[in-house]
């Protein structure tokens, strides 16, 4: 993960942030996050994006070291979100002759973040336009709503490098050795997942390029087996299941619904299914959403609460809707002591999602799990694994 060497001319100047607890103030990042930035050294010098204000001092030191006394000619701004654009004004003040390279949409948004005179220093580029640095040539590709409207990516034609903005990023600092797929999936689904069609459109553009390396704004530089990463992105952006298995998400007050969810999980494992269980009141919601997308089947199990759905389950369903959950098979279990309605309400919500198959029966538990519930649960397990 920590291999940041690109070439003698393209230098990594990013920073690991191990002090952050919540990315975007909502996603748990136990291994931190990296803010990636790059310097291209040529007849003219281009810096590719800045970093979060949290990491400005270390980043500036990295930039100065890479420049070795030279001054940058350009700052290429691919994405204005503060974790990447947070140090623009400080860099602009340090290098007053440096110009800013980006697209009209981004420059139209710059005034929302900064009040200094950036207009007189703009170099405006559009789809397919190029900028020569000498031996290196940058080609700009617009990527609207991946995942902001002003985003673009940049292809360097000489070394065949794709600077992919937030695309192909992941949670986790670069000094952490961990599986790319898991944290990249959690990052993609929860941050970019709503905009799958836009990602597919960008991937179609990328397919026309001869890419030897991908340099994202978060996570490791991708140098080998690029087909694996691009393939994963195609699956995630198309909302197709990645693996066969069942995610069971449950909301339980006194443990009875949890007991039923775990028993159903065992039944499904006996039928050869990979099962992941999430107590929605206690788990990382982003991980639960990630797993719901990863597998082809989902079971939601909720106690009835205030004549509705348990709040943690309601939040889970809201996130599924927000991230365009679709193309899955879903089973439903409900619990209620006197008026169980959670199942009906969950079915109404999930039934409105695109291309969802809700299987029968809906299992209803009255307060505690009893022998009489087991047959219905066996039937539900069979229905979920039926091809």
Cα–Cα distance, 50 to 59 (Å, whole number): 8
Domains and CATH numbers, the chain: 10-237 (3.60.15.10), 243-385 (3.40.50.360)
Supply the pLDDT for residue 54.
96
pLDDT along the chain (387 residues), means of 10: 90 97 96 98 98 97 98 98 97 98 98 95 98 98 96 98 97 94 96 95 94 98 96 96 98 97 98 98 97 98 97 98 97 96 98 97 96 96 93
Supply the pLDDT for residue 2.
81
Cα–Cα distance, 171 to 20 (Å, whole number): 11
**236 backbone dihedrals φ, ψ, rounded to 5°:** -65, -45
Tokens of 337: 């002591």
Neighbours of 106 (CB within 10 A): 23
Q: Alpha helix (H) ranges present in 17-150?
A: 56-67, 82-85, 88-94, 104-110
Cα–Cα distance, 42 to 93 (Å, whole number): 22
| CA-wise closest residue to 310 among 288, 331, 340, 351 | 340
Supply the pLDDT for residue 1.
54
ω into residue 361 within 30 of 0, thus cis? yes
Cα–Cα distance, 241 to 225 (Å, whole number): 21
Supply the pLDDT for residue 387.
73
Largest CA distance in the chain: 78
Q: Beta strand 27-28 with 137-142: parallel, antiparallel or unpaired?
A: unpaired
């Amino acid at each position: 993960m920590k291999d940041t060497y690109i070439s003698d001319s393209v230098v990594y100047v990013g920073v690991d942030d191990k002090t952050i607890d919540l990315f975007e103030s909502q996603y748990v990042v136990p291994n931190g996050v990296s803010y990636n930035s790059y310097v291209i050294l040529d007849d003219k010098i281009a810096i590719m994006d800045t970093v979060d204000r949290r990491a400005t001092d270390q980043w500036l030191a990295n930039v100065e070291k890479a420049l070795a006394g030279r001054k940058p000619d350009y700052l290429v701004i691919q994405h204005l979100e503060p974790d990447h654009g947070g140090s623009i004004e400080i860099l602009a003040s340090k290098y007053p002759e440096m110009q800013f390279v980006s697209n009209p949409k981004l420059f139209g948004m710059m005034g929302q973040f900064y009040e200094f005179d950036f207009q007189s220093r703009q170099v405006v580029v559009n789809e397919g336009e190029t900028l020569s640095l000498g031996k290196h040539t940058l080609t700009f590709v617009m990527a609207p709503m991946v995942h902001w409207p002003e985003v673009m990516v940049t292809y360097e034609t000489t070394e065949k490098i794709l600077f992919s903005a937030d695309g192909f990023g992941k949670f986790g600092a670069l000094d952490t050795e961990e599986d790319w797929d898991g944290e990249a999936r959690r990052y993609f689904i929860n941050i970019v997942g709503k905009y799958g069609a836009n990602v597919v459109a960008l991937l179609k553009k990328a397919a026309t390029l001869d890419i030897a390396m991908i340099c994202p704004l978060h996570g490791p530089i991708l140098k080998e087996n690029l087909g694996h990463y691009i393939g994963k992105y195609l699956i995630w952006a198309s909302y197709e299941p990645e693996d066969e298995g069942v995610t069971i998400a449950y909301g339980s007050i006194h443990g009875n619904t949890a007991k039923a969810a775990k028993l159903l999980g065992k039944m499904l494992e006996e039928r050869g299914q990979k099962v992941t269980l999430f107590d929605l009141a206690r788990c990382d919601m982003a991980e639960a959403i990630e797993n719901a997308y990863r597998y082809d089947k989902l079971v939601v199990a909720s106690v009835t609460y205030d004549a509705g759905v348990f709040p943690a389950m309601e939040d889970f369903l809201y996130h599924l809707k927000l991230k365009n959950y679709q193309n899955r098979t879903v089973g439903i279990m409900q619990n209620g002591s006197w008026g169980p309605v959670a199942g009906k309400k969950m079915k109404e919500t999930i039934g409105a999602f695109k291309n969802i198959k809700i299987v029968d029966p809906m299992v209803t538990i009255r307060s505690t799990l009893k022998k009489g519930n087991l047959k219905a649960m066996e039937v539900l397990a069979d229905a979920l694994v039926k091809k």
